Structure 1
């Protein structure tokens, strides 16, 4: 199982549920949830800006990397609470006037390395038997979308893939797609 590159939905719930204490719990819970829901790459997560979140219209603007399409996603009801709580807590951080949505406790933007360390730590705390890293949440998002029956093209657009070959891994392994076949 060490070669697995994604988390299951049950593992995602355990991961988010693990973040219940600590000075950064509000920020970290919000980050984990948003990373999963929107299938963010680590740099996309680190580069989110406060202005990318529009709570009034429930829209998040995501600038995709690796020549991907930039997209607007609806902010899901379950994440609004976490975002609001984070935005209320954020002024307590150094450099809270910064444009970056997620801040380091010491001020400034969180680095990719900090995010990798945090995700790994929470994975260990949750008892997940693979070394958790941010890209696993992106893959978890793709597989979760496929499990709900989303079309490959929709998943491609949602994750901002230019090449559909990067998307078919999610739908090709989904046994549920064969349920309607009877012989």
Structure 2
């Protein structure tokens, strides 16, 4: 059996709930939510800057990597709440005057390695049966959009794919697209 590459919406919720309260709780909840909601790659997540967020218009500017399209995404209500809580705590971090949205407790931009460790740890805390890594959240976003019946081209634009072949993996395995077929 192939190793699963995504998490269900229920598993994502379990991970968010597993994040303990504490000095990094809102930062980590916000990172996990944004990674899933926007289908961010780990480098895109850690590369977010304060200037990429506009809470007045509820928009997030996503600079896609791998020659992908940079886009503006709407900030969702739950995500906005997490952002506000994180931004209220952010000034307590070292180097809080830096442009990066997500900071390390030791100052400066959070590292790729730290993001991998955190997401793996929260997957374990949540009792997820597969080893969780950040790219699973990106795939989870794609599968969640396909499960909602979102058009393949719209998913392509949302995730910043240049090639549609990178997007069809989400819609090809979606059982919901066959619900209207009766024999």
TM-score by length of 2: 0.98
The residue that corresponds to 1:114 in the other structure is 114
CA–CA distance in structure 2, aligned partners of residues 131 and 181 of structure 1: 35
Paired residue secondary structure (2:73): strand
CA–CA distance in structure 2, aligned partners of residues 26 and 161 of structure 1: 30
CA–CA distance in structure 2, aligned partners of residues 180 and 4 of structure 1: 27
Shift of 1:129: 1.1
Shift of 1:179: 1.2
The residue that corresponds to 1:104 in the other structure is 104
Aligned 1:3-18 pairs, distance under 5 A: 3-18=3-18
Matched residue count: 183
The residue that corresponds to 1:152 in the other structure is 152
Paired residue secondary structure (1:73): strand
CA–CA distance in structure 2, aligned partners of residues 179 and 130 of structure 1: 28
Paired residue secondary structure (1:60): strand
Contact 1:69 1:157 in 2 (8 A): yes
Shift of 1:2: 7.4
Contact 1:26 1:85 in 2 (8 A): yes
Paired residue secondary structure (1:61): strand
CA pair 31-2 structure 1, distance change in 2 beyond 3 A: farther
Residues 91-121 of structure 1, C-alpha deviations (whole Å, 9 max, x = no match): 0000000000000000000111110000001
Paired residue secondary structure (2:72): strand
CA–CA distance in structure 1, aligned partners of residues 91 and 155 of structure 2: 35
Q: Does 1:51 align with 2:72?
A: no
The residue that corresponds to 1:33 in the other structure is 33
CA–CA distance in structure 1, aligned partners of residues 180 and 70 of structure 2: 34
Segments of 5+ residues of structure 1 without an aligned counterpart are none
The residue that corresponds to 1:78 in the other structure is 78
Shift of 1:42: 0.2
TM-score by length of 1: 0.98
Moved over 4 A (4+): none
Paired residue secondary structure (1:72): strand
Shift of 1:131: 1.0
